[in-house]
């Protein structure tokens, strides 16, 4: 579609082959399709069982169900009814996060839970901020261009049609996007708060362009999806239904096309037959051990649970776990460095209003030879609520009276953050710990250590943020370090020596096992991952649906262990 | 008073408090509603008077934080005494009314709720809290006091200051234990509507939302501050850290 046509149709384009927004009930937030959901028996053969109902799993289910696939999605968490299960409250959002035991280690451990891990139908997108930028074309060839990280076995051009389609399905609101592959958005940009306006002005004075958006939040008429009410609790689950998550963007249409979403089901093993094919998955439901038979298995449990499940699915044929013949499962986990800088303004900014994702810049996204590190970062807004603000103050080193005094000053502060592209490193990995969870399954352990490039990137980005916030007229500044997001761990690759899945997301060595979530990303860019996770699943579904992926035979290339040694 | 310009690099470094630092002397007494210690920047603002406009699930959850203070069930008496004194120091709650931080933390552990991770060299959060309680007592005892809770307030503050800086020689990694206990303390304290009154937070806004997003703008039910001293300069000038 040309830019002119797209601008003319702004807000009016109905997404193709996804009726989700029109299948919602305007008077309640629970999904009407849930009561008449198709149910399958455990022994009833289905075409695919998907583990996880988040961005990857739900998109895959919706797409394939439209092509007639019989699909069961097993989700460890609940099937949310936002009216009764969610609250407009920061601490009350605790149940939205993955809070089962996990161990973190390494020199720069990554805190999990509310920071980056979801649970329940809709997955982490239920509590993501709402930013939905695309990756840049350069992200798919980082090794070739910049000599760091890895190249993807697919190119930007292969995801582009899926980005465009998803931006209409979410739908995404924002200004014309000048970075990466320049593009527009179906919905107009949202209004922004006083803090964001000041930050934009500060950025302008520093020669930095900021844009409003892109956010997956309706800004205008879109089926039965309500308009945003700017209550600021995007990270606590959008009770309104304005913010995109699979619960409102893909699950309704999936249910309509016969998908069963079986919630409260913790998958513990992928089962394999003597020939090395998956036969289905074992899972725990209400304290009972069950087995769902399926022709194909797609794992979409995200960067920690997906490797954990593959590693735990050992057998005589796969003693180290599925897809793990080369000890690559769980490796290359990435988080983004996400320091935050808060500025104090004379006027009240009341940063709890308006969605936390307001404005953004990708001016520093690409490698710049003037800097002493490869790749870059994006700049975004964050709108911490009181607990988040107190954590920011504490991280700067204040407690007692000083803490109280800074937090009492809450309404005068505004906060900017960055997302730094940290590089994939094999030693940053998920392994199985000694201890076991309540299902008897070993818990995941995540080790994380930054490299010099990572530290240089974070330090530089933090200085830029301080410049912007000072130029915006901030009287004082509080700067802290933190992480955001989580991808990698089952990288896609063009050879089994360098990754876990092929370019069709199929595990090397297991013809009917797929990984359909953020764990397949070989690199992460400095964009928020949600839209790209959905786009990857959308592309996979297109290829599976068009039978361009064969699930009956092994991948064309042999396993490294049986391949002749390279010359 | 003119605001002080400074950068993060020049923020006051933590140091052991001496004396009894209090809130800024000009901070008004709360006239409507309740704040911890009845001081706040918004003396005529009571977020609870807006509760009728919140959705019922949120309303019950938030009101229960005020109405239903749970008993201590997870920690034993000695642990509770040490941890109560600790929570008072780190949240500067030196008089009533207090936000029941320890009760809220205890209820979370009693219900078996975790946050989704633990550091490799620390036990799960509830056991880390217990280890901190025992370690606080042992540290106070080595300084000649019968327990942390029985030590004079200056001594308690001095111990906490060393805890915050990771300077104590405990069996558990001190710096990480500090982040674990403070995460739960802050989550409890700033989820309480009395704290929202103190800081002028608008509170839950569903289904009504916010309409006035601009700098210096307020919803008609939000209150103006009566005190707006820049805390960075104030904290430094009054030697609070």
Written as one string, the DSSP assignment of A156-222 is HHHHHHHHHHHHHHTT-B-S-B-SSS-B--SBPPPP--HHHHHHHHHHHHTT---EE--BSB--S-B
The end-to-end CA distance of chain A, in Å, is 48
- Write out chain B's pLDDT in tens, 241 residues: 333 322 323 223 223 343 346 677 778 889 999 999 998 889 999 999 999 999 999 999 999 999 999 999 999 999 999 999 999 999 999 999 999 999 999 999 999 999 999 999 999 999 999 999 999 999 999 999 999 999 999 999 999 999 999 999 999 999 999 999 999 999 999 999 999 999 999 999 999 999 999 999 999 999 888 876 667 677 777 776 6
Q: Do A136 and A179 touch, CB atoms closer than 8 A?
A: yes
The alpha-carbon gap from B140 to the nearest alpha carbon of chain A, in Å, equals 19
The alpha-carbon gap from A19 to the nearest alpha carbon of chain B, in Å, equals 25
CATH class of A3-555: alpha beta
For residue range A78-100, what is the model confidence (pLDDT) as tens digits? 999 999 999 999 999 999 999 99
On whether residue B187 sits in a domain, the answer given is yes
Contact check, Cβ <8 Å, B116/A345 = no
The alpha-carbon gap from A367 to the nearest alpha carbon of chain B, in Å, equals 27
On whether residue B208 sits in a domain, the answer given is no
The alpha-carbon gap from B77 to the nearest alpha carbon of chain A, in Å, equals 24
Contact check, Cβ <8 Å, B207/A240 = yes
State whether ipTM is beyond 0.90: yes
Task: Give the orientation angle of helix A156-169 with respect to helix A530-545, to 10 degrees.
Answer: 110
Detail the DSSP E strand segments found in chain B: 118-119
**Domain parsing of chain A, residue ranges:** 3-555
Contact check, Cβ <8 Å, A230/B189 = no
* Among B12, B39, B116, B178, the residue to mutate for chain A (most A Cβ within 10 A): B116
Tokens linked to A223: 């089926």
- Measured between alpha carbons, how far is residue B69 from residues A339, A371, B50, B91, B105 in Å? 36, 54, 21, 18, 11
- Measured between alpha carbons, how far is residue A512 from residues A387, A506, A509, A544 in Å? 45, 7, 9, 11
Task: List CB contacts of A52: < 8 A, sequence separation 6 or more.
Answer: A73, A74, A75, A76, A123, A299, A300, A301, A302, A305, A306, A517
On whether residue B209 sits in a domain, the answer given is no
For chain B, how many structural domains are there in total? 1
Detail the DSSP E strand segments found in A338-489: 340-344, 359-361, 377-382, 413-420, 429-436, 442-447, 476-480, 483-487
Nearest CA in chain A to B187: A387
Q: Do A343 and A201 touch, CB atoms closer than 8 A?
A: no
Q: Which residue has the tokens 């595990």?
A: A507
Task: Give the orientation angle of helix B77-90 with respect to helix B101-110, to 10 degrees.
Answer: 130
Write down the number of H helices and E strands in chain A. 13, 18
Phi/psi at B44 (nearest 5 deg)?
-110, 20
On whether residue B14 sits in a domain, the answer given is no
Phi/psi at A441 (nearest 5 deg)?
-95, 140
Contact check, Cβ <8 Å, A111/B117 = yes
* Confidence (pLDDT) at A45: 86
Tokens linked to A251: 């699950």
Written as one string, the DSSP assignment of A99-114 is -S--EEESSSPPP-GG
The end-to-end CA distance of chain B, in Å, is 20
pLDDT per 10-residue tile (average), chain A, 567 residues: 58 82 95 96 93 98 97 98 97 96 97 92 96 98 97 98 97 97 96 95 97 95 94 94 97 98 98 96 96 97 98 96 97 97 93 92 97 97 96 94 91 96 98 95 98 97 96 92 96 97 97 98 97 98 89 52 40
Query: Chain B contacts of A86, Cβ < 8 Å?
Result: 57
Query: Chain B contacts of A407, Cβ < 8 Å?
Result: 190, 195, 199
On whether residue B88 sits in a domain, the answer given is yes
Written as one string, the DSSP assignment of A512-527 is TEEE-SGGG-S--TTS
Q: Do B13 and B22 touch, CB atoms closer than 8 A?
A: no
Contact check, Cβ <8 Å, A87/B58 = yes
Query: Chain B contacts of A308, Cβ < 8 Å?
Result: none
Nearest to B32 by CA among B197, B206, B204, B211: B197
Nearest to A92 by CA among B190, B38, B89, B163: B190
User: What is the domain extent for residue B183?
Assistant: 30-201+217-241
Contact check, Cβ <8 Å, A386/B188 = no
């Amino acid at each position: 579609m040309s830019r002119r046509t797209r601008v003319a149709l702004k807000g009016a384009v109905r997404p193709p082959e996804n009726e989700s927004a029109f299948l919602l009930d305007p008077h309640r937030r629970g999904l009407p399709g849930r009561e008449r959901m198709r149910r399958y028996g455990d022994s009833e053969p289905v075409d695919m069982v998907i583990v996880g109902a988040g961005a990857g799993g739900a998109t895959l289910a919706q797409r394939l169900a439209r092509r007639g696939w019989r699909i069961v999605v097993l989700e460890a968490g609940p099937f949310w009814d936002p009216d009764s299960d969610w609250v407009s409250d920061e601490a009350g959002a605790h149940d939205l996060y993955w809070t089962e035991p996990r161990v973190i280690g390494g020199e720069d451990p990554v805190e999990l839970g509310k920071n980056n891990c979801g649970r329940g139908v809709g997955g982490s997108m239920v509590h993501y901020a709402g930013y939905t930028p695309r990756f840049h074309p350069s992200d798919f060839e980082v090794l070739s261009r910049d000599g760091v990280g890895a190249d993807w076995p697919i190119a930007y051009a292969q995801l582009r049609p899926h980005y465009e389609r998803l931006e209409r399905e979410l739908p995404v609101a924002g200004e014309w996007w000048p970075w990466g592959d320049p593009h527009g958005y179906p919905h107009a940009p949202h209004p922004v708060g006083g803090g964001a306006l000041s930050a934009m002005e500060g950025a302008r004075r520093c020669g930095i362009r900021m844009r409003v958006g892109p956010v997956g939040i309706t800004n205008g008429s879109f089926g039965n999806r309500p308009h945003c009410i700017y209550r600021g609790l995007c990270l606590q689950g959008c009770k309104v239904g304005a913010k995109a998550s699979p619960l409102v963007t893909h699950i309704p249409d999936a249910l309509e096309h016969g998908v069963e979403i079986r919630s409260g089901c913790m998958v513990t093993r992928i089962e394999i037959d003597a020939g090395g094919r998956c036969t289905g998955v074992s899972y725990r439901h209400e304290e009972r051990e069950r087995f769902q038979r399926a022709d194909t298995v797609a794992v979409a449990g995200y960067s920690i649970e997906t490797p954990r499940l593959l590693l735990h699915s050992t057998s005589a044929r796969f003693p180290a776990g599925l897809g793990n013949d080369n000890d690559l499962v769980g490796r290359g986990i990435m988080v983004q460095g996400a320091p935050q800088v808060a500025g104090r303004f004379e006027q009240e900014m009341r940063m709890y209003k308006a969605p936390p994702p307001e404005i953004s810049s990708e001016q520093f996204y690409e490698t710049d030879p003037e800097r002493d590190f490869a790749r870059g970062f994006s700049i975004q807004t964050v709108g911490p609520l009181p607990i988040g603000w107190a954590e920011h103050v504490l991280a700067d080193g204040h407690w007692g009276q000083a803490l109280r005094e800074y937090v009492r000053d809450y309404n005068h502060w505004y906060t900017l953050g960055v997302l730094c592209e940290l590089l994939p490193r094999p030693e940053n990995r998920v392994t199985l710990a000694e201890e076991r969870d309540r299902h008897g399954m070993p818990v995941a352990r995540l080790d994380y250590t930054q490299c010099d490039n990572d530290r240089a990137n974070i330090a530089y980005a933090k200085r830029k943020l301080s410049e912007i916030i000072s130029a915006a007229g901030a009287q004082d500044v509080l700067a802290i370090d933190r992480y955001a997001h989580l991808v990698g761990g089952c990288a896609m690759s063009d050879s089994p020596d360098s990754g876990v899945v092929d370019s069709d997301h199929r595990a090397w060595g297991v013809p009917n096992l797929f990984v359909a979530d953020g764990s397949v990303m070989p690199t992460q860019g400095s964009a928020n991952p949600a839209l790209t996770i959905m786009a990857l699943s959308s592309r996979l579904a297109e290829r599976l649906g068009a039978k361009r992926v064969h699930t009956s035979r092994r991948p064309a290339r042999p396993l490294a262990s049986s391949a002749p040694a390279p010359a | 008073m003119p605001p002080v310009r400074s950068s993060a690099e020049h923020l006051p470094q933590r140091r052991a408090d001496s004396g009894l630092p209090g809130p800024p002397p000009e901070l008004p007494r709360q006239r409507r509603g309740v704040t911890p210690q009845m001081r706040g920047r918004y003396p005529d603002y009571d977020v609870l008077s807006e509760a009728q406009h919140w959705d019922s699930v949120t309303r019950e959850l938030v009101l229960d934080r005020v109405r239903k203070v749970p008993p201590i069930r997870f920690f034993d008496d000695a642990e509770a005494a040490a941890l109560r004194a600790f929570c008072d120091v780190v949240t500067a709650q030196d008089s009533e009314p207090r936000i029941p931080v320890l009760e809220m933390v205890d209820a979370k552990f009693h219900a078996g709720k975790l946050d989704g991770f633990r550091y490799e060299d620390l036990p799960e959060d509830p056991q880390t809290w217990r280890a901190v309680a025992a370690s606080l007592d042992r540290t106070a005892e080595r300084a000649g006091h019968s327990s942390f809770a029985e030590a004079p307030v200056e001594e308690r503050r001095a111990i906490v200051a060393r805890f915050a800086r990771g300077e104590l020689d405990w069996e558990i990694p001190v710096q990480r234990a500090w982040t674990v206990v403070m995460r739960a303390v802050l989550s409890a304290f700033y989820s309480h509507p009395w704290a929202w009154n103190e800081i002028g937070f608008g509170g839950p806004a569903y289904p009504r939302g916010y309409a006035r997003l601009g700098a210096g703008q307020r919803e008609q039910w939000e209150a103006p501050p009566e005190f707006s001293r820049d805390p960075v300069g104030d904290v430094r000038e009054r030697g609070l850290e």
